[in-house]
Amino acid sequence: MDRNTAKHRSGPVTPAVHQPFTDPSTWYEAVYSSAENDINKVPWARSADYSLLTHWLSEQHQTFANRRALVVGCGLGDHAEMFARLGLQVTAFDIAPRAIDWCRQRFPTSAVAYQVADLFQLPEAWQSAFDLVFDAFTIQSLPPDLHDRAIAAIADTVTKAGTLLIMCHGRESGEPTDGPPWALAHTELDLFLHSGLQEVRFQDQERAGVRRFLVEYRKPQEALESSDSTADDRDARRIRASHR
C-alpha cells in the first residue's frame, strides 16, 4: 500500500486524534508526527474530497499563470500542488512543522514554497499580496473564539481584485457543533464581508453525509463604502449547488 496517498482508506486513524484538544500549535503537530508517514492515519487527508474545488476550477476562464497564490493551513499539500499545476506561484503554510516536512518529502521537486507559519503571526510581506487565497478546513480546525481573528487574518492576505476561496464543513446557524472540527454556519462566514470582501458565490454540497461549503469572495478594487450592503447583496447571489 502506498502510505503517501489516500487511496486505501482502511485501518485506524492515529490515536492522537482522540487526545483532548488543547492548543492548535501542539495538537495538529501531534497528529502529523504520530501518523508515521501514513496519510490514512490523518483523518482529513484520508477523507479528502476534491470535487468542489475541481468543479470550481473547471469553470474558471481566468488565466492563473504567474499569479500569486497562498494556501492557508496546507496540511499535506495536495491543494497547493493542484494550484501549482495550473501555473500559479504558490506559497503554502501550516503551523505544524511535521506537516511542512511531510509536504517536502511527498513533493520533492515541487514549485510550491512550503513554509511553517502561524496564521496569527503572518509575515508583513504577505499582507494584500496574493491574487488567490485558498483555505480548506483551517478556520473550523480552530476553537470558535478564534474564528473572527482567523477570518480577519486570511482576508488581509488578499490583494485588491483578488479572489478568496474558503472550503469548510457547513452547518445551519444555531445548529450545535462540537469540534474539532467546529463546522461553520454561512452567517459566521459573513465576517469576511466585514473584512472588506464581497461574496461572489456560495456552494453547499452534501456528500456521504458530510456537508461542505465552498465560498468564493472577491476583494474589490476600491474600498467598500458599506459592508452592510454587501451582506444584503449576498443573498441575491447565493447559489445552491448539489453535486451529489
Please identify, using beta-carbon distances, which residue of 168 and 197 lies nearer to ligand SAM: 168
Tell me which stretch binds ligand SAM (CB under 6 A): 93-101, 157-165, 189-197, 225-233: 93-101
Check residue 107 and report its DSSP letter: -
Binding residues with ligand SAM: total (CB under 6 A): 20
Minimum CB separation of residue 182 from ligand SAM in Å reads 11
Cell output for 170: 457547513
Element (H, E) at 81: helix 78-85
Q: How far is the CB of 168 from ligand SAM (least distance, A)?
A: 10
| Least CB distance to ligand SAM at residue 19 (A) | 14
CB of 223 to ligand SAM, least distance (A): 27
Buried b (16+ CB within 10 A) or exposed e, 223-237: ebeebeebeeebeee
Helix (H, G, I), strand (E, B) or coil at 18: helix
Across 6-154, where does the E strand assignment appear?
68-72, 89-94, 113-116, 130-136
Chain-centre distance for alpha carbon 19: 23
Q: Is 188 in the site for ligand SAM (CB under 6 A)?
A: no
Which residues are at the interface with ligand SAM (CB under 6 A)?
24, 28, 44-45, 48, 73-75, 94-96, 99, 118-120, 136-138, 141-142
